Amino acid sequence: MEQVVALGPFPSELLDRNAAAPHRVVVTTQHLSGVSLFLPSFLAAIAVCRNVMADAVRSSNNAGKRGRLQLLSRPGSKVISWFLAAMTRPGCIGEFEIIDDHRAGKISVNLIGRLNECGVISPRSDVQLKDLEKWQANLLPSCQFGFIVLTASAGIMDPKGARQKHRGGKILGFFF
């Protein structure tokens, strides 16, 4: 006999065994022998985070457009913190704090309302020093407005630092 387990307070028509196929999802695991989990389709559509950097940048864009003053991004990573440090130098965002929760970590960012848009280049494209101006022209609205963030063996830097060190690298993202 199969046991049905419902998770959460959902309407009974969503948990009906004889309901139409789009309204139910069967999740079977080896840990629960003889137990089927019936979840509504809106819960089964929760996606797994594939690009942590892109999710953090997208959430900062959305928070800035909504006029929020603070953002909590999770999971955190070193690359996200380096990208945020590059955004604090010109004053696009305020301070940020890395919160260690003994899991993946969180990053709390204070927004000051000066961030128009930021984005991530995925997959990270190799850029030689001579091609850097082409990328700036393609990504930024003006040559005097906005910043590109590069990663190289010498660390994370802007194009000015890349020219000083005579290094190319991979483009992480941009902001203006």
**What's the whole-model pTM score?**
0.70
Within this chain, do residues 56 and 40 fall inside the same structural domain, yes or no?
no
Count of domains in the chain? 3
3-state secondary structure of 72: strand
Instruction: Confirm whether 34 is domain-assigned.
Output: yes
Instruction: Answer whether 110's CB lies under 8 Å from 69's CB.
Output: yes
Give how far Cα 13 sits from Cα of 7, 8, 63, 66, Å: 14, 14, 35, 35
Q: Which of 111, 139, 159 is the last residue of a domain?
A: 111
Instruction: Confirm whether 154 is domain-assigned.
Output: yes
Within this chain, do residues 153 and 170 fall inside the same structural domain, yes or no?
yes
pLDDT per position as a tens digit, 119-169: 999 899 899 999 999 999 999 998 888 999 999 999 999 999 999 999 999
pLDDT less than 50: residues of the chain: 1-17, 19-32, 44
